[in-house]
Amino acid sequence: MTTRVVRGTLASRVFAVVAIVAVVVLAFLPSWGSISLQRKMVELLTLMALAVMWNLLAGFAGVVSVGQQAFVGLGAYSMIAFVNVHHQNLYWSVFFSALVAAVLSIPIGLIAFRLRGSYFAIGTWVLAEAVSLIVILQKSLGAGNGASLNVKGHALATRQDNSYWFALVVGAGAVLLTYLVLRSRLGLQMQAIRDSEDGARGLGANVYRTRFLVWILAAFWTGLAGATYYLQQLRVQPAGTGGAFSVVQWTAPIIFIVVIGGIGTIEGPVIGAVLYYVLRERFKDHQTVYFISMGIIAIAVALLLQGGIWGTIRRKLGADLFPVRRRLVQRPD
Amino acid sequence: MVWTNAIIQGVLLGGLYALFATGLSLSFGVMRLVNLAHGDLAIFAAFMTLSISTSLKINPLVALLIVLPAAFVVGYLLQLIIFDRVVGVDPAFQIVATFGLGIVIQNALLEKYTADTRGLNVGRLKTSTIKVNDTIGIGWLPLLTFITAVVVLSSLALFLKRTKLGRAFRATSDDPDAARLMGIDIKRVFAVAMALAIATVALAGVLFGARSSFDPFVGPARLIYAFEAVIIGGLGSLWGTLAGGVTLGVAQAIGRQINPQWGELFGHFVFLAVLVFRPTGMFGKVQSR
C-alpha cells in the first residue's frame, strides 16, 4: 500500500477547463454582447469581487468586517483625486487607488484589530464612518455632493470596453487570488486558525500577522473593485443610494451574497453574486421588498443552513471545483 | 459662556447616548451578544410610537405605556427565535443574523413610512427651557432624558445586585456552564436580558424621536454612538456606560462648537483614542472579545 496526498479531483480538472473557456468567451463579450449587457456585467463582476474578498476575510480568516465600504470609497475617491485633481492617467489611477486603499488599511487595521468578534465588526463600521466624514470635508473632492470623474479625451466606446475588461480581471482575478492564497502557506495558516485558533497558535501560526496580511490584501482588491465600478459609473458621491461609503449599498448585499451562496467556500460567493444580481434585475420595480426578502433569507441561512447553497451541494456531491483540500489516497502496489 | 453651554448640552445628550448603550452593554455582558440591529430597533419603536400616538390621539410619551411592554415582548421573542441560535457559534453568523435583521427593519420601515423625516410631537415639553442666563438654557426634554438614563441605569444596577434573577444574570455572565449546573435556566436569563435591552433601547428611541427628526435609516448611527459609549466607558460596567455616553456627548458638542461639521468626527476621534491608548475603557473590567 502506498499513500499519497492528492488535491485535484476529476470534477476539479473538468471544471478548470470549463472555467478557462468561460473567461475567454467573456473576454470577447464586447464583440458579441450588447452595450447594456456589458454595463451590467461590470456591476456583477465588481460586486462578485467584493463578495469574494469579504468571504476570504470572514469565511477563511475569521475576520468579520462590516466596514469594507471604507475601501470601496477610498478606491473611488482616490481615483477622483488622481484624475480630477492631479491629472494622472485614467487607467493607472485605478491601480494606484487600490494601492491607496491597501496602504490606508494598515492604520485602520491597527486600530480595529484591538477589538474581537462582533466588536471588531462594529469597530470597522465606526472607522468606515470616520473615513467617510473626513472625505466629506474635502472640498476638492466635491464634499458632500460628490464629484464626476473627468474622462475628457477618452472616447466612450474604448472607455466602456476598458472598464469591462478591468472588471473581468477584477472579478475572475478575485476568485483566482482566493484559490492561490488558500493553496499557499498563508492559506493553510488561515484555515488552521479558523478551525482552532489555539491549536494553530500552538503549531506556530502567527494569528495576528496572518489575519492582518489577509486584511490588507482584501482592502487592496476591494479598492480595486470600487475604483473599477466607478470608472464606469463616473459619478461618485459619499453617502445615500449609490454612495461609495454606504453600508447599505455595499456591505449589506455583499454579506447576503456570501451567506446565501455559502460562506467559507470559493464557489459560494460566485453563485451568490450571480443569483443576487439576476434576481435584483428581475425585481427592479420592487427594490425594497427584494432587499427585505434577501435579508430574511440570509438570516434563515445563518440560523439553519450555515453552509449556504454551495455548502449544501458540496455535502451532497462530495466534490470541490477548486481543490484546496488535501486528501489522503491509498493505493495497492 | 458659549463653551459652558456647549458642554452642558453635551452632557445632557450623553445621557441619551448612555440610554441607547444600556441594552448593548447588558446583552454583551450577559450573553456576549452584540446586536447590530440595536439602533434600528430603537427607530422601529419611534415609528410605532408615532403611529400609536397619531391614531389614538395621545401624547407620544403616554404611548410609551403600550410601546415599552411591547418592546419587552419583542426582545424576549427575538432572543428565543433568532438570537439563541447564534449565541456561542462562529461570530460570523451572529453578525449576519443581527445585521440582516437591521437591514430588514430599515427597509420594512421604508416600505411602510417612506423616506420622509418624521418627529414625535410631545407638545410644549419640546420647546420649554430653564433659562440660567442669556447664553445658557437647559431644555426640559434633554434634562428629563438625562434623568431617565440615570434612573434606568440605577434600577438596572440595583436589579443585578439585589434580586435573585439579577444574581442569575451575573452568574451566567461569569460562567454559563457553571450557572446551568446550578440550575439556572440560561435560556430564560438570556431572553429576559434581551427583553430588558430592547425595552431600554425602545425608550431611548422614543426620547430621541421627541428631540430630533428621524427617518428609517438613522438607526445605524444610534448603534454606533451606543457602541462608542460602551467602549469609552469600559465593557462590563454600567456606570462606565453613563460616563462613556457623557464623554461622547461632550466631545461631539465641543467639535460642533468649533465647526458644525466636526461634531460626529470629534466623537469618533475620542473613541479611537480610547481604543488606542486605553482599550479597557474608563471603568472597564473585561477585555473586549
How distant is the Cα of B240 from the closest Cα of chain A, in angstroms? 17
Position A128 scores a pLDDT of 94
**pLDDT surpassing 90 at residue B143:** yes
For residues B187-214, give the mean pLDDT: 93
| Average pLDDT value for chain B | 89
Position A308 scores a pLDDT of 86
Position B289 scores a pLDDT of 40
Position B66 scores a pLDDT of 94
Position B285 scores a pLDDT of 61
Render the burial of A26-52: b for 16+ CB within 10 Å, e for the rest: beebbeeeeeeebbebbbbbbbbbbbb
Q: Which of B 250-289 lie inside 8 A of A, CB atoms?
A: 261, 264-265, 268-269, 271-272, 275-276, 279, 288-289
User: In which residue are the cell numbers 439556572 written?
Assistant: B184
C-alpha cell at A333: 502496489
Find the CB nearest A303 among B85, B103, B275: B85
Position A1 scores a pLDDT of 65
B88 has a chain A CB within 8 A of its CB: no
Question: Pick the residue with more confidence: B30 or A333?
Answer: B30
On the CB side of A76, CA atoms within 13 Å amount to 32
Spatial contact of B122 and B138, defined as CB atoms under 8 Å apart: no
* Largest Cα–Cα separation, chain B: 62
| Mutation target vs B (from A65, A114, A116, A118; most B CBs, 10 A cutoff) | A118
How distant is the Cα of A205 from the closest Cα of chain B, in angstroms? 20
Position A97 scores a pLDDT of 95
Identify the CA nearest to B215 among candidates B141, B106, B122: B106
Find the CB nearest A292 among B97, B107, B224: B107
Position A333 scores a pLDDT of 63
**Binned average pLDDT, 10 residues per bin, chain A of 333 residues:** 74 84 86 88 94 93 92 94 88 93 95 86 92 90 83 85 93 93 88 83 85 95 95 87 85 92 91 92 87 91 87 79 73 67
In tens, the pLDDT along B255-286 reads 999 988 888 999 999 999 998 888 777 776 65
Tell me the pLDDT band of B217, cut-offs 50, 70 and 90: very high
How distant is the Cα of A190 from the closest Cα of chain B, in angstroms? 15
Position A84 scores a pLDDT of 87
A207 has a chain B CB within 8 A of its CB: no
Q: How far apart are CA A302 and CA A289, in angstroms?
A: 20
DSSP B136: -
B2 has a chain A CB within 8 A of its CB: no
Q: Find the length of chain B.
A: 289
**Which chain B residues touch A126 with a CB distance below 8 Å?**
224, 227-228, 268, 271-272
**pLDDT surpassing 80 at residue B193:** yes
Spatial contact of B206 and B60, defined as CB atoms under 8 Å apart: yes
| Mutation target vs B (from A122, A255, A260, A283; most B CBs, 10 A cutoff) | A122
Segment (H or E) for A59: none
A299 has a chain B CB within 8 A of its CB: yes
The answer to whether the CB atoms of A118 and B33 lie below 8 A apart is yes
Position A313 scores a pLDDT of 86
**Which chain B residues touch A292 with a CB distance below 8 Å?**
104, 107-108, 111
**Which chain B residues touch A59 with a CB distance below 8 Å?**
92
Q: How many CB pairs under 8 A join A and B?
A: 124
ipTM of the complex: 0.88
**pLDDT surpassing 90 at residue B201:** yes
Q: How far apart are CA A301 and CA B144, in angstroms?
A: 43
| Mutation target vs A (from B17, B27, B99; most A CBs, 10 A cutoff) | B99
In tens, the pLDDT along B51-110 reads 999 999 999 999 999 999 999 999 999 999 999 888 777 778 888 899 999 999 999 999
The answer to whether the CB atoms of B272 and A115 lie below 8 A apart is no
